[in-house]
Amino acid sequence: MRDAPPQGTYKVQALDRAFSVLDLLGESDTPLGLAQVASSLQLHKSTAHRFLMVLERHRMVERTGNGKFRLGLRLFDYGNRAIEQYDLRDRAQPHLRRLVAETEETAHLALLEAARVIYIDKIEPARSVRMITRIGASNPVHCTSVGKAILAFLPEERAAEIVRRVRFERFTHRTITTTEALRTELEKTRRRGYAVDDEEFEEGLRCIAVPVLDAQRQPVAAVSVSGPSFRVTAQKLPSIANHLLQCVRGISVDMGYVSAGRGSRVAVSA
């Protein structure tokens, strides 16, 4: 319903329907009964019922005590297999933890997918307000520090292709909403070596990010530090950026991308 229209030349109705069921359950924060599922998706109850039973057999959904349905833990298994192939999260975690200890703010690890970034890990400092981000969630590139960090260090061509696909949704009065502004911003990011999201996604939230580069110096992910603007002040950015650079450097070494020796190419000015 609220989702991308199932356009495209190949179609398997049953799959589209099954996934719309999963979407529905995924977006609801309370389990749903058969009747609710059926009516929300305009499926006839028998059909919805059959799908739910099959999905349940596969443990893609499970029923709560009172017979309502929610997403099943098989999905969690699949999901973790999916990112396991990247192997990045496990190796990055200790470095992220150190980063959080140093900065006392929340750290995120994110990957680029299509024109969005996907958060694959989050570490929060002990005593901080909980951030609303959900691991696994995705945000557009243009309004996030991680997005800009990756984009800025991608080869011109790939970056341009992604920028072309950005839809420039506006989130706050500071959100970048034109290709031109984004290009300028990326240029700036390249120069200083780190990306900043200055309340462009959420009022009062400032983030700063640097890319994780692989052996070919291609960005494969980005690490960010986020916190309330009054704590993450402009003056502190260079210092945080340094912690970030140290962190991603550690990750790169652990991933075997670079040997531990040489210094980082991206420079932090100011």
Which positions lie near a second copy, rule CB under 8 A?
A: 6, 8-12, 14-16, 18-19, 22, 26, 29, 31, 50-51, 53-55, 57-60, 62, 70-73, 75-85, 90, 93-94, 97, 111, 113, 118, 120, 124, 126, 130, 134-138
Query: Count residues contacting DNA (CB under 7 A)?
Result: 24
Q: Which entry of DNA, a second copy, none binds 43, CB below 5 to 8 A by partner kind?
A: DNA
Alpha-carbon distance of 227 to 149, in angstroms, equals: 17
- To a second copy, the closest distance from the beta carbon of 41 in angstroms equals 15
Q: Which entry of DNA, a second copy, none binds 170, CB below 5 to 8 A by partner kind?
A: none
76 versus 181: smaller Cβ distance to a second copy: 76
Q: Which entry of DNA, a second copy, none binds 68, CB below 5 to 8 A by partner kind?
A: DNA
Q: Which entry of DNA, a second copy, none binds 34, CB below 5 to 8 A by partner kind?
A: DNA
127 versus 262: smaller Cβ distance to a second copy: 127
106-113: strand order across its sheet = 138-140, 116-123, 106-113, 219-228, 205-213, 195-198
SS3 call for 128: coil
Q: Is 177 exposed, middle or buried (0-12, 13-18, 19+ CB in 10 A)?
A: middle
6 versus 228: smaller Cβ distance to DNA: 6
Instruction: Return the residue matching tokens 């179609």.
Output: 11
Angle between helices 156-165 and 145-153 (to 10 degrees): 140
Which tokens go with 50? 């059959």
111 versus 186: smaller Cβ distance to a second copy: 111
Q: Which entry of a second copy, DNA, none binds 45, CB below 5 to 8 A by partner kind?
A: DNA
Q: What DSSP string describes 206-269?
A: EEEEEEEE-TTS-EEEEEEEEEETTTS-GGGHHHHHHHHHHHHHHHHHHHTSS-SSSPPSS---
Alpha-carbon distance of 212 to 219, in angstroms, equals: 5
Subset of 8-67 contacting DNA (CB under 7 A): 9, 11-15, 17, 33-36, 43-47, 49-53, 66-67
44 versus 231: smaller Cβ distance to DNA: 44
46 versus 233: smaller Cβ distance to DNA: 46
Which tokens go with 34? 């058969």
Using the rule CB under 7 A, is 188 a contact of DNA?
no
Q: Which entry of DNA, a second copy, none binds 33, CB below 5 to 8 A by partner kind?
A: DNA
Q: How far apart are the first and last CA of the chain?
A: 49
Q: Whose CA is closest to 180, among 205, 54, 188? A: 188
- To DNA, the closest distance from the beta carbon of 14 in angstroms equals 4
Q: Which residues bind DNA (CB under 7 A)?
A: 9, 11-15, 17, 33-36, 43-47, 49-53, 66-68
